[in-house]
Each structure stands twice: as C-alpha cells, then as structure tokens.
A and B are shown apart, each in its own frame.
Chain A
Amino acid sequence: MSAPLLEVRDLKMHFPVKSGFFSRTKARNFAVDGVNLSINPGETLGLVGESGCGKSTLGRCISRLYQPTAGEILFKDANLAGMSHRQLLPYRQNIQMIFQDPMESLNARHTVGEILEEPFLIHGIGNAQTRRQSVSKLLDTVGLPGRSASRYPFEFSGGQRQRIGIARAIALKPELIICDEPVSALDVSIQSQILNLLMELQKEFNLAYLFIAHDLAVVKHISDRVAIMYLGKIVEQASSNEIYHRPFHPYTQSLISAIPIPDPHHSATRILLKGDVPSPISPPPGCAFHTRCPKASESCQRDVPILKTVAPEHIAACHFAEAP
C-alpha cells in the first residue's frame, strides 16, 4: 500500500467558552475530540455528521486555519500541527479549501481575474503575462468563459461562483483540497455539474479531497471512503458502498434510514432517534451517542467505546456494533 498523503492522529480542538463574567471555571467546547484519519493521494474521504459535530473545525485544523489543541497532522511526513506561520508557508499551497458560500471567501471588490491571480502573486510565481495565461487556463478548466476575468463575483450565479472558488483552490496545483459543503447551497441541477467538475479535476490532477457534507447520497457518490462523525469523534468509517449497505454503528444506521428516497414506491423503515444532539460543551459520558441510541445499555453510559475493526477495512466505535 502506498503511503498516505495525510495522516491525522488523535487530533483535538477544544475552544474556550466564555462562561459568565467573573467565572473562573473555564468551560471548553470539545469540538474535535481525538480524531484519527488518513487520506491517500488522489482519494476522496467523505465526512458526514450532524450540524455542530465538528466537521468544519476538523477541516480548518487540517488546513491550519486553526491551531489544534493537541494531536498530529502528518502531511507528507511533516507534522503541521505545531508549525508556526512561517514554517507552514511552503505547505500552504499544497492544501486548499473550498467553502459552502464562495462569496464569503472571494473578495467582492476584486475582479475574478484578480482573485485568480492572487495565489500566484503571493507565492511569487511567474510574470504578468504568464499569470494572465494561467488565469485564462484556470477559467477554461472549471468551465467559465474567458471574459469572466474582467467581471466581479456578484455578477455570477451561485454555481458559477463555486466554479470561481474551485479555480482559485486548484491554481497552485495542491495535492489536497478540503471541500466544506461545496454543493449544499446549490440547486439540484447545478449540484451535479459541480460534483462532476470535482471528479474530473481529481482524475486530471490526482487531487485528494476531504469532502464534508450532510447529504449522504452526495457524499456516497463522490467518496472512496466515508467517515461518520458524532460530537467531535469519528464513530464509523468504511468504503462508500460498505457504509451504505452494511452500517454497523446505530448512529450510522439511523442516519441512513432517515434519508428521504426519491422513489414513491420505496417505503421507508425509519429508525427515528429521540431528542437532539447534545452540546459539545458537555458531551455525555461513556458513548456520546447513548442519550439517543436505541441500543444503549448501562455500559454505554460509562465506558467510552473505541474504534475497532468490525469487517475488513471497516471500523466502528460501539459496544454493540453489528451488521443490520
């Protein structure tokens, strides 16, 4: 087996929480709480989980927008976790991000041409002429007309803006892109255009993706492997097909059963979960899922389940993990 491009070991990101004015007890938000994962070159790892479970935080730690509290981020054998800004510089162009709302990350006062030229300028690559050529090549690669360079982001539709965001992310030929809900805000008919573009670019440039989304059908379609996250931890991981056909963790089982199927002949047999996701500020003891789990027993309230192999290339963290 080839060496992974990225290996994350026991990564933690605990945010301090302001708890009252003069309060001395410092509460913490255990947003990411001991995550292990790896991504191979050219591979897509999907990351799924409910709102607030720590997906974006994990992505931002890996791209080092955040300084993680603990753990290792091994990227091509260098540990990015503790690096200073200066030390990180040579790695920055290698790991890029794509966001749900590209407007938030695109400077509205710059033309698309300027936005796409910026990465080359920052890293001192090429001269004015070669940069212009690179920009028009990028536009072509993501399927935007060449004249887009002189326009501003607000003149584009949501789908086109996402293409601009993708063009900027691939400008410096990164090896890993963190895609944080890149199609969640788009219309169904535009979603498939962007998903196809991402899959084509992956083949062409041997890109690896960490693909974050809450739509399991989308994630399943684009990913080689899928990791399911709950309250700061990965609770299950397997190949896309395996996780859908044979989920072992009760949370994954209910997540999959909850997806509305676009077929009126299909009759859903739902595993309805009780209640809401608990707060990551005071995660339940033992298995964090026990408050909603249909299988929970006494030991679940006490003992933290660890990820163990339940089938080849398939891990799950549940005391009662079993195939459906």
Chain B
Amino acid sequence: MITPLLCVSGLTTEFQTDEGLVRAVDGVSFDIPPGGTLGIVGESGCGKSVTALSIMGLLPRPNGNIQSGRIDYRGEDLVAADNARLQRIRGNEISMVFQEPMTALNPVHTIGRQLTEVVAIHTDQSPAEQIRTAVAMLQRVGIPAPELRMTEYPHQLSGGMRQRVVIAIALICEPLLLIADEPTTALDVTIQAQILDLISSLQKDFGMAMIMITHDLGVIAETCEQVVVMYAGQVVEQGSVFDIFDRPKHPYTQGLLRSIPKLTDIPKQPLDIIPGMVPSLHDLPVGCRFANRCQHRAAECDDAGLTVDTVTEGHSVRCLKWRQL
C-alpha cells in the first residue's frame, strides 16, 4: 500500500461561542495518497472549511481549538507541531485557495509584491530571480501580459483574474498538497470551467495532491477520485467517486443525488426532496444526526453509539440500516 501523504484521524474541532462550546468537526477521518484528489461535499455549516482550517493550522485563536485527533503529514503530526513549523509548511508544502479571492489578496500591495513575497519566504532566490519566478507563474495560470499585471493592484482585476492570481500565489512554491475551499463558487460557469481546467492541469504537472471542498456535486464528479460526504460535523459516507455516485449507501447521499436538477430531466416535473433541515450544532441528537430527515429511520437510529461501517474496502457509511436499503 502507498503511504498516504496526509492522514487525518478522529479530528475533532471545537469553538467557544456565546452559547457555549460548539463541536464543528466531530471525529473526521480520511487520507490522501501523494498526487491524489479528495473531494469534501456537504451542506452549509457541516464543517468543511473548519476541517481545512484545522489542517492548515489557521483556526481562529483562541476560540477555535482542535480538541482531539491527529493530522499526520508525511509522518509528522501537525496537531502537535508548533507555529514556526506550521508556518514553514504553509505556502511551501501545503497551500490553500479560498472562495473569495479578495480575502486572500492584500488590496494595498501590487500583485507582483504579493507573489515575490511568498517566493522570498520559502526560497533563497535573489530579487531578480523572484520576479522571474513570479512572472512565469502568472503566465502559467493564463494571465495575459504578466509583466504589466505585476504592477497592478487586486481591484484592477476581474473576479476570474483574481482567482488566477490567488492560485498562482498558492502554487508558486510547488506545494505537495493544495486545499481548494470552494475555489469557483463565486465565479461564472464559463470562468469556473477555465479555473477547474487550470487547477487540474497544474495538478498533473506538479504531481500535487488536492482536497477540493465544494457543495457542487458536478465539480466533485469531474475532479475527484475520493469523496467524503459530511453532515452536521461528521463524515457520513466516504468512498471512491464511483462508490458515492453509483452505489451511495447513506440515505443523505442518496437523497442529495436524487434531489439535484439534472440537464437530462424532463422540465417542470416535481423534484425529489430531502424534507426538513439540518439540526443545530447546539442541539444535536445523540443518535443519527440525519434521523429527523430520514425516510428509513427506525427506533434504534435514535440510540447513542452509531459508528462507521465498512461497505467494501475504502467505502464506509455511518448508517444503521444501510444493508436493508
């Protein structure tokens, strides 16, 4: 078996809030081989971004804390690593791209400065070399007239251009792992297609692994090999992209796939729905967290102690009834 590049096990992240302690991520486990692509999908607030921030060591302090679990990166537990070590890893070995490019860019610095700064931190290139590296990277992400763009500010670029710059910054040190948190959600479909195409070609060239966070099942199907489905802070199902789309076992995954409008549907027919809504993190049931919306719910679903069951090698599900469905 290939040693995973990243292995997250039992990750549990909590926030101190006005209404008390909130467990945003509860026992999340998955791993990624070198060069692999893993998708994380799930409803708003289910813990996708908090999982990513936990890996990056970017949780808002002091309110956010990893309560338990391990994040093993090439044999090193990042949960135990100190800040200096995490800073060296970030941007150099593990990079992140956020949904809103403006949050990742500094509005008062030129594009060029923001790129060369990263190179300066992580390499010992001379200033002239840094500029050459930056220009080459802008070219690589498809920005026309890169020398000119180096002197411009983020507000002078369109949304799609900005996201390209953010990707350029994330990839300029050729990281081993890219975490992309909804990288195209704010963009138009034609621009999304350009960006996804760009990310996957860069991924191939650099041989880097990727975690793709999105709520768009289309993006998951097109870009990912492995898929993690999250619901209310927990992983409810995970497997290969074919396990998840061809033989989903969890009632939530099944419901989700059935409820999306498809281009092949006959127009104006009622859609399948998942009734109700996600329970609040402040008021979680002890049993299955999907139970209040589940059509297969039985009395024992509400009992504590629901665990993850293996369907086949690499495909697991957190549901008591999956065999009967």
Contacts and interface: CB of A to CB of B under 8 A. Distances in A.
A260 B277 contact: no
A282 interface: no
Contacts of A276: 158, 160-161, 191
A144 interface: no
B259 to A, nearest CB: 4
Given A216-B189, A220-B265, A268 B222 contact: yes
Contacts, number: 135
A244 B273 contact: no
Given A189-B274, A270-B197, A260 B263 contact: no
Interface string A165-201: 0000000000000000000000111111101100110
Contacts of A277: 158, 188
A186 to B, nearest CB: 9
Interface in A216-272: 216-218, 220-224, 240-241, 244, 254-264, 266, 268, 270, 272
Contacts of A118: none
Interface string B140-167: 0000100000000000001111000000
B259 A258 contact: no
Contacts of A88: none
Contacts of B189: 50, 214, 216, 255, 258-259
A221 B267 contact: yes
A270 to B, nearest CB: 6
A244 B242 contact: no
A254 B271 contact: no
Contact of B263 (A195, A222, A261, A270): A261
A223 B267 contact: yes
Nearest to B280: A157
A290 B260 CA distance: 34
Contacts of A107: none
B221 interface: yes
Contacts of B267: 220-224, 240-241
Contacts of A153: none
B194 A262 contact: no
Nearest to A195: B271
A218 B221 contact: no
Interface residues of A, number: 49
Residue in A187, A188, A223 with the greatest tally of chain B CB atoms within 10 Å: A188
Contacts of B221: 260-264, 266
Residue in B192, B221, B270 with the greatest tally of chain A CB atoms within 10 Å: B221
B261 interface: yes
Interface string B247-277: 0000000011101111101011111111101
B268 A222 contact: yes
Contact of A260 (B160, B222, B245): B222
A249 to B, nearest CB: 13
Contacts of A193: 273-275
B219 interface: yes
A266 B263 CA distance: 13
A262 B257 contact: yes
B251 to A, nearest CB: 12
Interface stretch (B90-98, B114-122, B210-218): B210-218
Contacts of B269: 221
Contact of B268 (A217, A224, A255, A273): A224
Contacts of B100: none
B261 A259 contact: no
B245 to A, nearest CB: 5
Contact of A190 (B188, B265, B277): B277
Interface of A: 44, 50-51, 157-160, 187-193, 195-196, 199-200, 214, 216-218, 220-224, 240-241, 244, 254-264, 266, 268, 270, 272-273, 275-277
16 contacts: A50-B191, A51-B188, A187-B215, A189-B43, A189-B273, A192-B274, A195-B261, A196-B271, A200-B270, A216-B263, A221-B265, A223-B267, A258-B189, A262-B262, A264-B245, A264-B246
Q: Which 7 A-B pairs have the closest CB atoms?
A: A260-B218, A221-B261, A258-B193, A262-B217, A192-B259, A192-B271, A189-B274
Interface of B: 43-44, 144, 158-161, 188-194, 196-197, 215-222, 241-242, 245-246, 255-257, 259-263, 265, 267-275, 277
Given A187-B215, A199-B270, A221-B268, 15 more contacts: A159-B277, A189-B273, A196-B271, A199-B268, A216-B263, A221-B261, A223-B267, A224-B268, A255-B189, A259-B218, A262-B221, A272-B194, A272-B197, A273-B193, A273-B194
